[in-house]
Amino acid sequence: MCGTDRPLVIKSSTDSSVSVENGSNGNHQPEPIINLDHGDPTMYESYWKKLGEKCRLTIPVSQSLSYFANAKNLCWFLEPKLEQEIKILHNVVGNAIVEDHHVVVGTGSSQLIQAALYALSDSLNQPNPISVVSAAPYYSSYREIADFLRSGLFKWGGDAYKFDEDEPYIEMVTSPNNPNGVMREAVVNRAGGMVVHDLAYYWPQYTAITSPADHDIMLFTVSKCTGHAGSRIGWALVRDKDVAKKMVKFIEINTIGVSKEAQLRAASILEIVSASCQIGVEPYDLENFFEYSKNFMAERWKKLRDAVKKNELLSVTKFPRQYCNFTAGFTEAHPAFVWMKCKEGMDCEKVLREHKILTRGGKRFGSDQEHVRISMLSRDEEFDLFLQRLPNIIADEEV
Ligand SMILES: Cc1ncc(COP(=O)(O)O)c(C=O)c1O
């Protein structure tokens, strides 16, 4: 536990997504630019600040000198403590089956996506790169990752709904989905297909936990679970031993393992989160992390819906209520992003940019310009400014 031998310091950063640039709000005050383009998860900072100095991690300079964490483990650079805390947390939350799966740690789940694409495509020995597809709107980084190095093993194959080649493929399934928050399953379902489940947002603050996921390759990350994107720790649960070995090989060639300091920090954070969920276990009288973060996201979504109602150009998805096994109650989804639809024919990203709100346009996700993805993960300061500005958004020609 985060205690005397391994206290944990969670340093808050003071940078912000709000920057002041030329512009006017009518009162001759500079109007700040609000950057809600990337999903930088700073929103749970106040929860972690409450822990303050009670929880700090000190790593003696004599520790973690070796490349190895456990030479006998398939994933030889995985800290045993992190593996243990990952398994405990999944069992506490009930969102994934860890039995019969190997844990592979990565520098963020971004590295694990690449490791999985390598592992799956390398084993096929195909003469041509195999297609990586995902159902639109898809997480925009998949396309970039698949094409970045112009690999001979795989290439971006586009929208999974449109994939009709009679050849092996890899489908990325993001559930809940980034950008639109809906729960997803594979859509291609053809012979020769391999599926990677990216479950970065399958945590109780974003969606109901309806059953433990049990897929061949499942990816998770502390970035979205606890909001510690700066630690750059993700993990994969991989059923097949050879695939897991190849993923480990990829990370060995890529970065010779994953920072031990970051792993130990992540292990302590996950331990706190698990302890906060178990009555009588928490040493610091901590509020249940998922209750806190779920209420936090629910409050943001309520405010957002109220603001959107005041503007007839904009609309957002309504999510069904579902029973959550973790909270033992019915809940709506409160996704990490808003997938906002603007009036027909409107270039939504452009219009919002004219109002000094930076978002990511629908085309980046394989969709259209009438949609934008807006991060719900910013600090209160920029989120509140965004809500204030939303009712005043007017279409291009009216600006
Ligand atoms: C669906 C999805 N997968 C993976 C990632 C990458 O996360 P990490 O910070 O662990 O690299 C993100 C980050 O936004 C994401 O949205």
Angle at 383 between CA 398 and CA 375, to 5 degrees: 85
Element (H, E) at 294: helix 289-309
How far, in Å, is the centroid of ligand 1 from the Cα of 3?
30
pLDDT attached to residue 31: 82
Q: Can you point out the beta strands (E) in 83-198?
A: 102-107, 130-134, 154-159, 169-174, 193-198
**Looking at the predicted structure, is the pLDDT value of residue 8 above 70?**
no
pLDDT of residue 25: 47
pLDDT for residue 26 is more than 80: no
pLDDT at 21: 45
Q: Which atom of ligand 1 is nearest to the CA of 201?
A: 1
Residue nearest to atom 2 of ligand 1 (CA): 200
CA–CA separation, 67 and 58 (whole Å): 19
Q: Would you say 383 and 300 are in contact if contact means Cβ atoms under 8 Å apart?
A: yes
Q: Do domains 18-50+288-398 and 80-277 have the same CATH topology?
A: no
Nearest residue to 178 (alpha-carbon basis) of 127, 149, 143: 143
Averaged pLDDT of the chain: 91
Give the pLDDT confidence score for residue 365 in this predicted structure: 97
Per DSSP, the three-state class of 385 is: helix
pTM, full prediction? 0.92
Answer yes or no: is the C-beta of 137 below 6 A from any ligand 1 atom. Answer: no
Q: What is the pLDDT of residue 14?
A: 42
4-18, 140-154, 278-292, 371-385 — which is least confidently predicted? 4-18
Cis peptide bond prior to 212, omega within 30° of 0 = no
More reliable by pLDDT, 26 or 179: 179
Question: Which of 80, 84, 56 has its CA nearest to residue 69?
Answer: 80
pLDDT tens digits, residue range 108-132? Answer: 999 999 999 999 999 898 999 999 9
Give the contacts of 146 (CB within 8 A, at least 6 positions apart): 117, 132, 154, 155, 156, 157
pLDDT at position 396 is 54
Q: At 146, phi and psi to the nearest 5?
A: -65, -35
Mean pLDDT check: name the lowest of 7-21, 312-326, 359-373, 379-393. 7-21
Between 7 and 314, whose confidence is greater? Answer: 314
User: What is the pLDDT at residue 52?
Assistant: 81
Mean pLDDT of 215-240: 98
What are residue 155's DSSP bridge partners?
A: 131
Of 70-74, 115-119, 366-370, 387-391, which gets the smallest average pLDDT?
387-391
Residue pointed to by tokens 């859509």? 187
Q: What average pLDDT does this structure show over 357-362?
A: 96
Give residue 285's pLDDT: 73
CA quadruple 151, 156, 160, 162: dihedral sign: negative
281 has pLDDT over 80: no
Q: Is 179 in the pocket of ligand 1 (CB under 6 A)?
A: no
Residue of 57 and 30 predicted with greater confidence: 57
Which range, 13-27, 32-46, 95-109, is most confident?
A: 95-109
Give, for 96, the enclosing helix (H) or strand (E). none
pLDDT of 209 > 50? The answer is: yes
Residues 291 and 124: their CA atoms lie apart, in Å, by: 44
The average pLDDT across 208-214 equals 98
One CATH from 3.40.710.10, 3.40.50.300, 3.90.1150.10, 1.25.40.80 for 18-50+288-398: 3.90.1150.10
Domain definitions of the chain by residue range? 18-50+288-398, 80-277
Sign of the dihedral defined by the CA atoms of residues 340, 344, 346, 351, in that order: negative
In the reported structure, the alpha carbon of residue 266 is separated from the centroid of ligand 1 by a whole-number distance in angstroms of 16
Evaluate: CB of 176 within 6 angstroms of ligand 1. no
C-alpha 200 – ligand 1 centre gap (Å): 6
Q: 80-277 — its CATH code?
A: 3.40.640.10
Contact 68, 77 (CB under 8 A): yes
Nearest Cα to Cα of residue 244 among 120, 69, 83:
120
Residue 17 pLDDT level (bands cut at 50, 70, 90): low
Alpha-carbon distance 133 to 188, whole Å?
9
pLDDT at 210: 98
Q: What is the mean pLDDT of residues 359-370?
A: 96
Q: Which two tokens stand for residue 227?
A: 């909001």
Selection from 312, 310, 365 nearest residue 339 by Cα: 365
Residue 339 DSSP symbol: E
Nearest atom in ligand 1 to 113's CA: 4
Asked if residues 212 and 95 have their Cβ atoms less than 8 Å apart, the reply is yes
**C-alpha angle 111-116-122 in degrees, rounded to nearest 5:** 125
